[in-house]
């Protein structure tokens, strides 16, 4: 009797996945729980173990294809066993599931799945970094190399053998590639394609407007200096990001429209605050979600943000942990950027960009008057620009400025009693 390998449901709001890569070929023996394939959902790749031991009899869904949860992907059985391949069966009706999830207020919009089939290059289209590097160094045209990998994939062994064969014939690979272009086409990764599609979709969906405030970070810097060693003793790295997140949560409480999403029949106000915190990776960006951020103090925020960021960089986040955000914060200042205009993470109302904290001379005055005064003085203060990009269908300029002014006030008046 054969065992069916089905597309797993990798998150409560995920109704489909893309077969990124098969780790076994038909005819290969496999042990139970041995990695069988990789499945991609948005920006998360997950290794799927084999449900049973035996031989991979066939592959029903090829690499690069997106199918609904429950779809039969392959069959495992005894060596030589014949498989009748009936019409693919799913564990549940994917159309009904998709409609139900789309109506949910907690689902982030997904990248157009019609464009996802080619997310991961496969066969001869897939070129590993080491193969690309060798080919570039030796000016080898990979279309001339016979591939011995799965579906004709060119491996390191293939390209080295090709170079060796030309050398033995007294011909230089460089000469063979007389028409080598001066440009180098780098294939898009699945993550880069997902980011590109999502950004284009966001700009096409909502009218983006950005407002910028300047914040004096003296109180926060003083608080962090006084408490970072205490946090470190508990295994928590106290960065500036938790302060910005705490201030954002306070503003979301006071301006509920900033924690909403636009629908044709009205604004859908989220009653819970699930904050996405953007994390830069080597080859892209991912936004893990800090759930119920309003229920955490500074200690809880710092610990949770550090954990999510570390697992994002290690590639160990689950697909669920990037879903369901109601607002997003991106700290682009960590790389030195002063001002940015981030793109909204649809269908959210806005995204807060945080610029670098730098020392600048500022004028301090005892009065609110803009006229020069003998009491005015110039001081060196740690300053920061906050950039709030918002959906103008949901928020007007005055409301957006109110939202940002709450964050500014919270940060500038941070005290020992504030959300420690």
Catalytic center residues? 392, 396
List residues bridging with 212 in a β-sheet: 387
List residues bridging with 347 in a β-sheet: none
Burial class (CB in 10 A: 0-12, 13-18, 19+), 238: buried
DSSP string, 227-269: HHHHHHHTT----SHHHHHHHHHHHHHH-GGGGEEEETTEEEE
Beta strands of 63-136 (E only): which ranges?
66-68, 72-77
Alpha-carbon distance 222 to 417, whole Å?
13
Report how far apart, in Å, the C-alpha atoms of 288 and of each of 283, 305, 312, 319, 345 are: 16, 9, 7, 9, 12
DSSP string, 368-394: S--S--TT-EEEEEEEEEEEEEEETTT
Side-chain-side CA neighbours of residue 209 (13 Å): 14
**Residues 221 and 380: beta-carbon distance below 8 Å:** no
Closest CA to 203 of 399, 351, 397, 385: 351
Closest CA to 209 of 11, 399, 414, 415: 399
At residue 198's C-alpha, the angle toward residues 130 and 41, to 5°, is: 60
Give the H/E segment covering residue 137.
Answer: helix 129-137
**Residues 249 and 294: beta-carbon distance below 8 Å:** yes
């Amino acid at each position: 009797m054969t065992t069916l390998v089905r597309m797993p449901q990798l998150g409560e709001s995920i109704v489909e996945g893309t077969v990124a890569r098969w780790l076994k070929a038909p005819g290969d023996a496999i042990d139970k729980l041995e990695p069988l394939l990789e499945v991609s959902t948005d920006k998360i790749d997950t290794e799927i173990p084999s449900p049973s031991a035996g031989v991979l009899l066939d592959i029903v869904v090829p690499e690069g294809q997106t199918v609904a949860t429950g779809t039969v992907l392959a069959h495992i059985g005894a060596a030589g066993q014949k498989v009748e391949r009936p019409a693919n069966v799913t564990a549940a009706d994917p159309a009904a599931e998709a409609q139900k999830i789309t109506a949910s207020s907690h689902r982030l919009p997904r990248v157009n799945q019609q464009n996802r089939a080619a997310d991961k290059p496969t066969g001869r289209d897939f070129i590993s970094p080491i193969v690309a590097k060798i080919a570039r160094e030796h000016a080898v045209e990979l279309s001339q190399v016979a591939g011995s990998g799965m579906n004709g994939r060119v491996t390191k062994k293939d390209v080295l053998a090709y170079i060796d064969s030309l050398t033995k014939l007294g011909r230089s690979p460089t000469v063979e590639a007389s028409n080598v272009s001066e440009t180098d086409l780098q294939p898009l990764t699945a993550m880069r394609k997902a980011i590109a599609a999502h950004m284009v979709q966001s700009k096409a969906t909502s009218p983006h407007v950005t407002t910028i405030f300047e914040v004096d970070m003296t109180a926060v810097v003083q608080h962090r200096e006084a408490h970072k060693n205490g946090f470190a003793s508990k295994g928590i790295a106290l960065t500036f990001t938790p302060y910005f997140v705490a201030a954002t949560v306070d503003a979301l409480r006071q301006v509920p429209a900033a924690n909403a999403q636009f629908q044709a029949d009205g604004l859908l106000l989220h009653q819970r605050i699930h904050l996405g915190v953007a994390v830069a990776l080597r080859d892209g960006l991912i936004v893990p979600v800090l759930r119920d951020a309003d229920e955490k103090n500074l200690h809880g925020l710092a610990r949770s943000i550090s954990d999510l960021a570390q697992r994002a960089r290690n590639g160990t986040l689950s697909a669920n942990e990037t879903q369901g955000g109601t607002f997003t914060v991106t700290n682009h200042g960590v790389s030195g950027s002063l001002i940015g205009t981030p793109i909204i993470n649809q269908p959210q109302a806005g995204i807060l960009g945080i610029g670098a904290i730098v020392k600048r001379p500022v004028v301090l005055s005892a009065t609110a008057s803009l006229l020069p005064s003998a009491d005015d003085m110039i001081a060196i203060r740690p300053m920061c620009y906050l950039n709030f990009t918002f959906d103008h269908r949901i928020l007007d300029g005055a409301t957006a400025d109110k939202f940002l002014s709450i964050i500014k006030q919270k940060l500038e008046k941070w005290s020992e009693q504030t959300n420690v």
